[in-house]
């Protein structure tokens, strides 16, 4: 199934995409447009691989339940045709929110994936980690309101995962919240 999705994305990248240029021109100067279009295309092309990695962690027995619940929320977002940047309306640019959400979910949780699982997926993780710089770049190509909503969605998915997995920790999590939170961050 993801092979067909990857083929569809490659075909979308290969065709002339005035829509992509039109949306990106809101965020970059004309002389940066070609590079921005290339970055977005590369980033979106990595989406099927990142979904496969997320799915491998989701299906692994050793992945903590809270991480699995977080991933399930991310996958539910991907299945929603009326997301923040619908592909029907925005074509290739419409996959940018999906790619950003999946990459950020993986970055947030990687430190909580058991070492044995990370070893099994080391090539895929290395490829995903190599995209970290692209994640920083594509932030600049998303409308600020969409970026804010995507980060809020990630925070909400994370909180929901904690609530589902451990009702007794809800008060602790809520009191630890500032305007944002990331208890699943791999920075610990």
**pLDDT category of residue 170 using cuts at 50, 70 and 90:** low
Q: Which whole number is the average pLDDT over 56-85? A: 92
Longest dimension (CA), the chain: 54
CA torsion through residues 37, 35, 47, 164, sign: negative
Residue 185: its pLDDT value, please? 44
pLDDT at 19: 87
**pLDDT-derived band at 175, boundaries 50, 70, 90:** low
pLDDT band at 72 (very low <50, low <70, confident <90, very high): very high
User: Band of the pLDDT at 179, cuts 50, 70, 90?
Assistant: very low
Quote the CA–CA distance of 7 and 3 in Å, as a whole number.
6
DSSP 3-state of 142: coil
Model confidence at 3: pLDDT above 80: yes
In whole numbers, what is the pLDDT of the chain averaged over residues? 87
Per-residue pLDDT averaged across 159-170, rounded? 76
What residues contact residue 167 under an 8 Å CB cut-off, 6+ apart?
none
- 178: Cβ–Cβ under 8 A, 6 or more apart, which residues? none
pLDDT of residue 181: 46
């Amino acid at each position: 199934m993801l092979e067909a999705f990857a083929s569809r994305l490659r075909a979308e990248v290969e065709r002339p995409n005035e829509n992509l240029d039109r949306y990106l021109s809101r965020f970059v100067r004309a002389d940066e447009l070609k590079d921005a279009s290339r970055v977005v295309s590369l980033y979106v092309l990595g989406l099927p691989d990142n979904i496969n990695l997320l799915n491998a962690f989701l299906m692994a027995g050793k992945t903590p339940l809270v991480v699995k619940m977080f991933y399930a929320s991310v996958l539910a977002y991907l299945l929603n045709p009326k997301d923040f940047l619908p592909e029907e309306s925005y074509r290739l640019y419409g996959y940018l929110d999906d790619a950003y959400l999946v990459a950020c979910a993986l970055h947030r949780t990687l430190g909580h994936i058991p070492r044995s699982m990370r070893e099994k997926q080391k090539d895929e993780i290395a490829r995903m980690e190599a995209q970290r710089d692209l994640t920083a770049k594509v932030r600049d190509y998303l409308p600020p309101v969409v970026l804010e909503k995507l980060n809020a969605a990630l925070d909400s998915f994370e909180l929901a995962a904690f609530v589902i997995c451990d009702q007794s920790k809800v008060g602790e999590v809520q009191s630890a919240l500032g305007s944002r939170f990331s208890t699943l961050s791999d920075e610990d």
